Amino acid sequence: MNILLTGGTGYIGSHTAVVLAQAGHKVILFDNLCNSSNEVVGRLEKIVGKKIDFAEGDVRDTALLIEVMRTHQIEAVIHFAGLKAVGQSVADPILYFANNVQGTISLLQAMQQLQIKTFIFSSSATVYGEPVYLPYDEVHPTKPINPYGDSKLQVEIILRDLAQSDAQWKIACLRYFNPVGAHDSGLIGDDPNGIPGNLMPYLSRVAAGTLKYLNVFGKDYDTRDGTGERDYIHVVDLAEGHMAALDFLNKHAGLHVVNLGTGKPASVLECVRAFEKACGKPLPIEFAPRRDGDLPIYYAKADLAKQLFGWTAQRSLDKMCESAWYFEQMHNK
């Protein structure tokens, strides 16, 4: 298939591009490079051994999207493009709604004009909010606790109404848990600008010596070892989940909301230990107060993805840390 990946030079989009291209699909990346670099395109070409098409642009530019989709005879769209920093969304909610919601509307309008009706959306476990029960299954109430989460839920609502209005649409809302790790080549991975806010990229920098120690936010949560627990998922597993979702959509119309997680939470201290094993050295930590807005624990019920897509995450926490560490070393050579 000819598949447009908005946000295709970003972290999850680039890994998905590899999986799809290696499976014989033609991928076209569309990105405004606000949080990634076009260097990724060359790296992807190196990994897959063939040319990858890239168009620079903003998803709010409907006319450009129509032109790109027409030129490349696009048959399906995976929509990764979006802003994802929770703190920034609290400080500037309009930016988040303009980019994430307005951007999706523009994309859907372009698709509608060209009668392209297969769509995968990058949603997030953040749509669930405070757990009423765990693990979160897909029918758990949705009550996001920040504008980033609100923007994801608003898009999900638009997609629900769209699927109801026209039975030909084939839509998957994939609710990602915590994607970490990198491609085995070490050529692509998670490379945030500045001091990382997320645990795994922070640990990578501590291992590399560019940051002195990890602040462990909270040590007295009601969890196995007192530190926060999350459902970390290897980004290549996540990428494979997209291909499995696309195969499913090719045979099933309608809207499908599905968690992509492992179903197995890991604590901050377990992550530190796994990363120490990967890099072969102790990593200094200091306990710090709980981080505002953090939940003690959340993780996915991962059964629906298996049932519908025949997909389950395969890669262990050790593998996530090994690949993240390899990427960090390759990247800073």
Partner from ligand NAD, ligand UD1, none binding residue 114, C-beta < 5-8 Å depending on class: none
Nearer to ligand UD1, 106 or 135 (CB): 135
Does residue number 201 form part of the binding site for ligand NAD (CB under 6 A)? no
- Mask of contacts with ligand NAD, 229-248, x by CB under 6 A? --------------------
- Residues forming a β-bridge with 254: 170
Query: Does the active-site annotation cover 148?
Result: yes
Which positions from 54 through 93 interact with ligand NAD, judged by CB under 6 A?
A: 58-60, 80-84
Give the SS3 label for residue 46.
helix
State in angstroms the smallest separation of the CB of 272 from ligand NAD.
19
Q: For residue 174, give the H/E element and its range.
A: strand 170-176
206 forms part of the interface with ligand UD1 (CB under 6 A): no
Q: Does 106 bind ligand NAD (CB under 6 A)?
A: no
230, interface contact from ligand UD1, ligand NAD, none, CB < 5-8 Å by kind: ligand UD1
Instruction: Name 119's bridge partners.
Output: 77, 171
Which of ligand NAD, ligand UD1, none does residue 173 bind (CB under 5 to 8 Å by kind)? Answer: none
Please state, in angstroms and rounded to a whole number, the distance separating the CA atoms of residues 317 and 275: 9
Return the C-alpha torsion angle 18, 21, 27, 29, nearest 10. 20
H or E stretch including 152?
helix 147-165
> Which one of ligand NAD, ligand UD1, none interacts with residue 113, CB within 5 to 8 A by kind?
none
DSSP 56-96: E--TT-HHHHHHHHHHTT--EEEE------HHHHHH-HHHH
Q: Going by DSSP bridges, is the β-strand pair 118-124/26-31 parallel, antiparallel, or unpaired?
A: unpaired
Is 7 one of the binding residues for ligand NAD (CB under 6 A)? yes
What are the CA-CA distances from residue 279 to residues 135, 205, 255, 274, 323 (Å)?
A: 31, 11, 42, 9, 10
- Among 48-56, 155-163, 212-220, 247-255, which window interacts with ligand UD1 (CB under 6 A)? 212-220
Nearest to 201 by CA among 325, 34, 313, 317: 325
Active site residues: 148
Q: List residues binding ligand NAD (CB under 6 A).
A: 6-7, 9-13, 31-36, 58-60, 80-84, 99, 103, 122, 124, 176, 178-179
User: Using CB under 6 A as the criterion, which residues of the chain lie in contact with ligand UD1 when the complex forms?
Assistant: 86, 124, 126, 178, 197-199, 202, 214-217, 228, 230, 268, 291, 293-294
